[in-house]
Structure 1
């Protein structure tokens, strides 16, 4: 399938989503908000890959939400202001689901950021499992600078990734956080010298993830997401229940056998799942 806002290539069990509107700084036009969750859910539901990598073409990762989304979204208020507001709330919820699809994917999602991750770009990368940057990258909660409060995911996620004081400063001041500072505060895992080195490095990490048991990796992601939002006691209970039901002896046996035979292990992929009854 072809997409208007990005290309999708699946090779070596890695799905690579690459934003391909560099002439528009990869701004998120209305089609983007439909296409991205559709692509991610297809990869996840049908187990088409073991890892998802998101990168971009051009100078910037993304300039964030395109103004056309606002024009279609009905920011204007008419005589029925309260009724308009109620409808607009549902539009925001639909936009939020675009990035929640990344968090809900069964496999890890890695973001490779070059240039700016601006506005909704921060919301996007905070929904990913891991973030990496080139030396020229920067991150900016731009919404404050244009008179609005970011509403598609930054606030519930950013302060769980970086110190709350830095999350607040980023939001209140709409300041650009460069790649080196982003690494210092834990927003990104690593900084690479060039965009080319960035993509090579992230693909190498993705390859290492893809080499492991997809079931074990999916379990890790489920546990991290659950533990983030629940007490330690609840998270311990959940991982015990998970392993009681889904610990796979065949994968453990294959991991040890492959190591002893000095070869790459061979694991079964996850099975497709259906969203319909």
Structure 2
């Protein structure tokens, strides 16, 4: 009896959300998928196994953020440091999601923000794409309605035309042509970027990467032919970071490759810093 329940539970853990499955297409032949058992198969015979954590690797390889970077990000976000940003993202994304709609998180990482959206939009489904298998192991479990896919955002996406209500791009590469193709008419593209003042106090102590002050201007310019700006919101969060928090915030992104360990070791007490973000909301034009 107990073994039967365990087998049933294991099967449920690798079930791909139906709405997300319906939006996917085979990267080889562009055919739709079905899910017989624990794999996704297209009508021409291409098959992709679901990992036991629930994600599917359509890329055939996995690169991107390392296991250590993903663990640092997961722990930092789980502590609630960026919860105000998650609430703002969820508010903006959820109001443009139709019932039974799909939100695609391009560069989902651990699925933290996508999970926040789905917690607010209960009848919707999420599909998160990332190149990091380590991140998608977490993302697939961030919410029951998330389908997680290993994919390179610079390649044509394995998604049907006009299949998404909302596409989120949070600190990730932006493939604007694919975003336009995959969004439904007048769908929403939500982009989160760091403000030029983001973590400025921490940069006084560490040689971290700078944020381009012209980022928003360049973003709007790149989008203007296919999207129109409908809203922009600043989000500033005052944080008190312990030395362990500082270690995590450095190692959860590309700064991990630039800040020497000796500089981190020199921080022995808590620091008060300001996290500053800009949430830009665009509407897909015809």
TM-score, scaled relative to structure 2: 0.26
Structure richer in strand, relative to its length: 2
The structure with the largest helix share of the pair is 1
Normalised TM-score (structure 1): 0.27
